[in-house]
Amino acid sequence: MAAYNFSIVHLSVFLCYTISLLSYVYGSGFSVDLIHRDSPRSPFFSSADKASDRAENAIRRSINRCDHFGKKSSSAKSSNKLSSNITSTVLPSGEGDYLMLLAVGTPALPLFATVDTGSDIIWFQCSPCDVCFPQIISPIFAPQNSSTYIDILCATKECDALSSVSNAIPCDGTACKYNISYGDGSISVGNFAHETLTFQSTSADETVIPVPNMAFGCGHNNTGIFSALGAGLVGLDAGPFSLVSQLGSSIDNKFSYCLVNNSNIATSKLTFGSNPKLVSGSGVVSTPIVFKASDFFYFLTLEAISVGETRIPFNTSSTTSAVPLEQGNIIIDSGSTITSLPTDFYAAFEAEMKKAITIDPVPDPNTSLSLCYPGDSDPALVPTVTAHFTGADIVLSPLNLFRHNGDDNEFACLAFRPTDGLAIYGNVVQNNFIVEYDLVNKLVSFMSTDCEMA
């Protein structure tokens, strides 16, 4: 069997070897590393950053994502394919919490991209550039040098379908175009094309998996506040051009991740296909995904949160039990650190936590989180907290509830915040759970596990 190599000289700080492309049947699924942006393996990592800065930046990213989810969800889709742009759900400057190392083209060019369960498509910077932001970890992808690059034409069903995940997709001549705009005014514009994407499996033999004919945005005009340390974005929502949707039946329309609690200790895993540990494991609970018009986000229905024996309903602000619970009232998101809850619901939850924890809270001047305790407090003081989703009760550990802040972990702060926008179930509460998304049966499943060992 023929094999060929792609050079990773530009990523030698992260990998110290060269890997070969092998023919691989990925229908049984495969796993890749998810690299937290604060991990020493991440291009965003800086030893000069203080722990308190990283903690505050994570909170800022969560607030920004909450704002942008709300803006996209409330914005109407335009039927005029020439007048509007895609509105992205994330800020462009590496605002997601997790990165993936993958390669694009033939020969394959390795690069880092943000992985986002709240985005519709895959895009990378491409040359020639009308305008490109500096990209210092790997060269900008040159489609003219790839033997597998093919522009998608305007007069195709694929180009027409792109408008279903965006406000508009204009065409220029014969080539289909994508146009992403961000809330801060940044944009990425370019050709919508087919290309081979290559993934390195975390299997024992570190198999490399090429996937041909993947639709992606090849960005020739990328202006605004972009980070020079990344190269683009990999969308994992339910839109037709996300990575998981394009892999489709070859991975049984499923993907899962297992997020480690401490990004400095081990690497999280992202699995495409049925997760064997979830299939064979015990204690698996599942809740329906609610898809809403014009959105491909993963909405779930959170009915209540219990603190010990006290159950706090999601409709806390309602003065009557006759008000029906909204189906799909919270987005599950791997890119948000903090869980955001409606203001009244959060206030009732925080009040019960204060009542249950028998030591006095302390202010943390380094964080925007409002309920903090000394970092060396006994975890046994934390009450049992259960998130009650429709059909799924999820018991949260102290490490799911509190996030250490401060330069020497002086504080442990409740990793929740109030919002007047959309509620978001963030990634701290998902740590040490296998979380699987089944797009056919419209279910998200959870199983508690040690993700460092997964």
C-alpha 194/C-alpha 215 separation (Å) is 5
- The H or E element spanning position 58 is helix 51-74
Pairing of strands 443-448, 433-438: antiparallel
Q: 31 and 269 in contact (C-beta within 8 Å)?
A: yes
Helix, strand, or coil (residue 416): strand
- Please answer whether residues 412 and 374 qualify as being in contact, where contact means their C-beta atoms are separated by less than 8 angstroms: yes
Nearest-5° Cα angle at 15, 217 to 205? 95
Residue 333 annotated as catalytic: yes
Residues 6+ apart with CB under 8 A from 78: 84, 167, 168
Q: How far is CA 51 from the centre of its chain?
A: 22
* Omega within 30 of 0 (cis) for the link into 107: yes
Hey, CA dihedral for 393, 352, 341, 416, is it positive or negative?
negative
**Among 277, 255, 303, 262, residue whose Cα is nearest residue 116:** 255
Catalytic position from the list 120, 295, 333, 364:
333
d(CA 247, CA 250): 6
> What CA–CA distances, in Å, run from 68 to 73, 86, 88?
8, 13, 8
- Is position 252 annotated as part of the catalytic site? no
Q: Which of 116, 120, 237, 364 is catalytic?
A: 116
Residues with catalytic roles: 116, 333
